[in-house]
Amino acid sequence: MVLILSQKGNFMSTNVEEKILHGTTTVAIQVKDGVVLCADMRASAGYFIANNNTMKIQKIERHVGLTLAGGVADAQNIVDVLRYHANLHRIQKNEPISINSLARLTSLMFHQNRGYPFIADILVGGFDNTGPTLFNIDMFGSVEKKNYVTTGSGSPVAYGLLEDEYSKDLSLEEAKNVALRAVKAAITRNIGTGDGINVALIDKNGFRLLTDEQKKAVIKL
Residue in 24, 25, 26, 67 annotated catalytic: 24
| Structure confidence at residue 5 (pLDDT) | 42
Give tens-digit pLDDT for 162-193.
999 999 899 999 999 999 999 998 877 765 56
The pLDDT score that the predictor gives to residue 17 is 46
pLDDT of residue 209: 93
Residue 25 a catalytic site member: no
How far is the C-alpha of 56 from the C-alpha of 199, rounded, in Å?
10
pTM, whole model, 2 decimals? 0.84
Name residues whose C-beta falls within 8 Å of residue 16's C-beta, 6 or more positions apart in sequence: 2, 4, 117, 119, 139
The 3 state secondary structure assigned to 86-99 is HHHHHHHHCCCCCH
pLDDT (0 to 100) of residue 48: 41
- Say what the pLDDT of residue 70 is: 75
Query: CA 211 to CA 216: how far, in whole Å?
Result: 9
Name the strand (E) or helix (H) holding 113: none
Q: Kindly compute the dihedral angle of the four CA atoms of residues 44, 46, 47, 49, in this order, to the nearest 10 degrees.
A: -20
**CATH topology assigned to domain 20-216:** Glutamine Phosphoribosylpyrophosphate, subunit 1, domain 1 (3.60.20)
CA distances from 82 to 116, 158, 216 (A): 19, 27, 32
Q: What residues contact residue 158 under an 8 Å CB cut-off, 6+ apart?
A: 25, 27, 150, 182, 183, 185, 186
pLDDT tens per residue across span 111-138: 887 777 777 889 999 999 999 999 999 8
Pairing between β-strand 143-145 and β-strand 120-128 as defined by DSSP bridges: unpaired
Start-to-end CA span in the chain (Å): 37
Low-confidence spans in the chain with pLDDT less than 70:
1-23, 42-53, 190-195, 220-221
pLDDT of 10: 44
